[in-house]
Amino acid sequence: MTCPSALELSRARTLGVDPAIAAHLAGCAACRDHWDATTAAIDLARELPVAIPPAARREEVRTAVLAASATVAGPSTRRTWIAPAIAGAMAAGVLIYVAVPGGSPPARHAHGAVRPRAGAHYDTSWSGATEVVRLSDGVIDIEVEPLAAGERFLVVVGGAEIEVRGTVFSVAASARHLVDVVVSRGHVDVRPETGPSATLAAGQSWHVTAMPAPSPPVAAAAPRPTPAPPVRPVLLSPPAGAPPAPRAVDRRASAAPRMARPPAPSELAPSAPPPERTERSPAPAVDEVSYNQAWEALRANNFARAVSGFSRVILLAPDSALVEDATFWRAVALARGERRADARAAFQDFLDSYAASTRAGEASAMLGWILIDAGERDEAARRFHAAVGDARAAVRASAQAGLDALATPKPRR
């Protein structure tokens, strides 16, 4: 039999080997060598490293995808209604610019515009002439047009209620609890779940004074014997005074995922406008408030509240320069609150996300101590070694103390 061409062999590899080619391969050394060499090449190529980012990073990308997908035109009616859509978009563009300069298109409601920030969870419903926006988590900015007689616009967060009479304001919530209300224009009545009601005017704000305590960690239910702790320099206490100003962050190295840069529509299958690139948001006041509150809670040893506050910053402003600091201090708060498993995951997440951070050494040292307690001495040593060259003497001392502790033989049981 004549040897099949190399192209035929290649095609057979993909489509399946027919009996004739199989028989030929069995009897022809040259073709067999060719076949085996190709198999070896493919097998080796399959061995090449395939780096999949950590789950936290992928979750960030997922969030960014869903956030960006909400800003592009929906797929269902675009072609049919293209002309009215263009006209409508132009009109909406003017309204949006007037209402929220520099922002992305808000969702229009009958009485105004609701503009959720990334991660916000809300829904809207009607009851007669009353429009109700129910916010469970995140931040929404709302502009409400002047209402006619009998019309009402309510924002409901858990048991709290905010009623407006034509205004521009922001509402923040966490786990169905009202956190902040900031009024830019007009008047807002705030009726919190507990405490007195308040009427806010432009420039005024309302902030929660106490959040419900989070559920206790599971680990707390099972008390463990406490080994004699090694002497460790204290790194986990935040210094007194005002919270540190957020440092400049290398966005490329450590930020939440950017919006994708899609290719030109003509390069892809069906044409469509490319997804919009989301602009980086300025650090909103509500996030700074949450950060400061969390910091105060940490200094007051209220670790559960600190964790909740720093988590809120991360949730509310994923693009903010505060996020790196919030991620670090959240891990610290978890550690100081004895939630070791959570703290360990939080420090690892911080180090994965902000490897170049000036706090990486500090986080490594803290993680090292947690790992010692968990009996993972090799990994602890690796973390301490990563911290012994830190610029801060206290961090170096802590890392060295950790290495010294590891060098000491384990006590017999």
Partner 1 sequence: MSGKLVPLRRITGELAEMSDEAVLAACGTGDAHALGALFDRFHEAVYRFAARLPVTDDLARDDLVQATFLEIRRAARSFRGTSSVKTWILGVAANIARHTLRAERRRRVHQARYLEQIAGAPEAIDAQVERRKLLAQVAEALATLPSDQQIAFILCDLEQLPGVEVARVLEIPEGTLWRRLHTARKAMRAAIQKATR
Q: What are phi and psi of 294, to 5 degrees?
A: -65, -40
128, 222, 225, 261: residue in contact with partner 1 (rule CB under 8 A): 261
Q: Which residue type, as a one-letter code, is found at position 65? A: V
**The dihedral sign for the CA sequence 176, 177, 179, 183:** positive
Residue 268 in the binding site for partner 1 (CB under 8 A): yes
Task: List the structure tokens of 188.
Answer: 């807002």
For partner 1, the binding residue among 119, 214, 233, 238 (CB under 8 A) is 119
Q: How many residues form the binding site for partner 1 (CB under 8 A)?
A: 79
Q: Does 51 bind partner 1 (CB under 8 A)?
A: yes
300 Cα distance to chain centroid: 26
Q: Is 406 a residue that touches partner 1 (CB under 8 A)?
A: no
Q: Which of 67, 168, 363, 405 binds partner 1 (CB under 8 A)?
A: 67
C-beta of 167: minimal distance to partner 1 in Å? 18
| Residue 231 makes contact with partner 1 by CB under 8 A | no
Least separation, in Å, of the C-beta of 287 and partner 1? 12
Residue from 17, 92, 95, 100 touching partner 1 (CB under 8 A): that is 100
Which two three-digit tokens encode residue 337? 């609150």
Report the residue number, 104 or 400, with the smaller CB distance to partner 1: 104
Question: Are 319 and 255 in contact, with CB atoms under 8 Å apart?
Answer: yes
CA 48, distance to chain mean position in Å, is: 30
8 A C-beta contact, residue 190 and residue 206? yes
The answer to the question of residue 37 lying near partner 1 (CB under 8 A) is yes
Distance of CA 387 to the CA centre of its chain: 26
In the bound complex, what is the minimum distance in angstroms from residue 289's beta carbon to partner 1? 17
Instruction: Candidates 272, 345, 397, 406: give the one binding partner 1 (CB under 8 A).
Output: 272
User: What is the phi-psi region of residue 158: left when phi exceeds 0, alpha when psi lies from -120 to 50, beta otherwise?
Assistant: left
Residue 371: strand, helix, or coil: helix
Candidate ranges 46-54, 287-295, 363-371, 376-384; the one touching partner 1 (CB under 8 A): 46-54
> Using CB atoms within 10 A of its CB, is residue 112 exposed (0-12), middle (13-18) or buried (19+)?
buried
Q: Is 285 in the site for partner 1 (CB under 8 A)?
A: no
32 touches partner 1 by CB under 8 A: no
Which residues, in sequence order, are CB contacts of 28 under 8 Å at separation 6+?
3
Q: Does 356 bind partner 1 (CB under 8 A)?
A: no
The string over 238-262, giving b where at least 16 C-beta atoms fall within 10 Å of a residue's C-beta and e elsewhere, is: eeeeebeebeebeeeebbbbebeeb
Query: Interface with partner 1 by CB under 8 A: which range of 74-82, 154-162, 321-329, 333-341?
Result: 74-82
Stretch binding partner 1 (CB under 8 A), from 54-62, 208-216, 295-303, 361-369: 54-62
Distance of closest approach, residue 352 Cβ to partner 1, in angstroms: 11
Question: How many Cβ atoms are within 10 Å of 405's Cβ, its own excluded?
Answer: 18
Part in contact with partner 1 (CB under 8 A); list of ranges 105-113, 183-191, 219-227, 367-375: 105-113
Question: Toward partner 1, which CB reaches closer, 35 or 369?
Answer: 35
**In sequence order, what DSSP letters do the residues of 120-185 get, joined into one string?**
-EEEEEEETTEEEEEEEEEEEEEEEPPPPTT-EEEEEETTEEEEESSEEEEEEEETTEEEEEEEEE
Is residue 54 part of the contact set for partner 1 (CB under 8 A)? Answer: no
Smaller CB separation from partner 1, 55 or 220: 55
Q: How many CB atoms lie within 10 A of CB 322?
A: 25
Distances in Å between the Cα of 41 and the Cα atoms of 51, 111, 220, 310 are 20, 64, 53, 50
Q: Six-digit token pair at 326?
A: 């919030």
- Residue 155 has which token pair? 């924002």
Residues between 130 and 149 that touch partner 1 (CB under 8 A): 141
Candidates 73-81, 185-193, 200-208, 356-364: pick the segment binding partner 1 (CB under 8 A): 73-81
Q: Note whether 30 binds partner 1 by CB under 8 A.
A: no
Interaction residues for partner 1, span 238-257 (CB under 8 A):
252, 257
176 binds partner 1 (CB under 8 A): no
Q: Does 110 bind partner 1 (CB under 8 A)?
A: no
